[in-house]
């Protein structure tokens, strides 16, 4: 399992950047996420969580998109250290 070594997007905190490695999900939800810009290799910035912690707003290729945890749970990758 590669996923074991990778972080979930849902675990990244506001202010952090995240590079997507894989989407561990199939079907229309995967297609939807890809269309929204959550594609492997792309860099995501975690903007902010909503008051109740879910959903979370992400910056993805010049657009702000909010995902619920049930979606961001399936997105794996690595957190990029802020230099």
Partner 1 sequence: MNKREYTIALAGNPNTGKSTLFNVLTGLRQHTGNWPGKTVIHAEGFFTYKNEEYRIIDLPGTYSLYSNSADEEVARDFIIFGKPDVTLVVLDATALERNLNLALQVLEMTDRVIVCLNLMDEAKKKGMVIDIDNLSKKLGVPVVPLAARNKEGIEELLETIARMVHGKIQTKPIVVSYSRAIEEKIAKLLPLVKEVVGEEYPARWVALRLLDGDTSLLHALQHQPHHLLKGGPNYACHCSAKSI
Cα–Cα dist 60/19, whole Å: 11
CA–CA separation, 69 and 39 (whole Å): 17
For the record, the structure tokens of 71 come out as 């979606």
Q: Which of 7, 25, 36, 57 binds partner 1 (CB under 8 A)?
A: 36
- In this chain, which of 25, 37, 66, 80 binds partner 1, going by CB under 8 A? 37
Q: How far is the CB of 71 from partner 1 (least distance, A)?
A: 12
Residue among 31, 40, 50, 70 that touches partner 1 (CB under 8 A): 31
**Cα–Cα distance measured from residue 63 to residue 55, given in angstroms and rounded to the nearest whole number:** 16
* Contact residues: partner 1, CB under 8 A: 27-28, 31-32, 35-37, 61-63
């Amino acid at each position: 399992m590669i996923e074991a070594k990778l972080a979930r997007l849902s675990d990244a905190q506001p202010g952090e950047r995240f590079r997507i490695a894989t989407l561990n999900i199939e079907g229309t939800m995967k297609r939807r996420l890809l269309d929204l810009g959550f594609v492997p290799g792309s860099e995501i910035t975690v903007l902010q969580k909503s008051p109740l912690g879910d959903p979370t707003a992400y910056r993805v290729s010049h657009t702000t998109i909010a995902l619920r945890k049930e979606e961001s749970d399936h997105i794996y990758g690595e957190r990029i250290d802020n230099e």
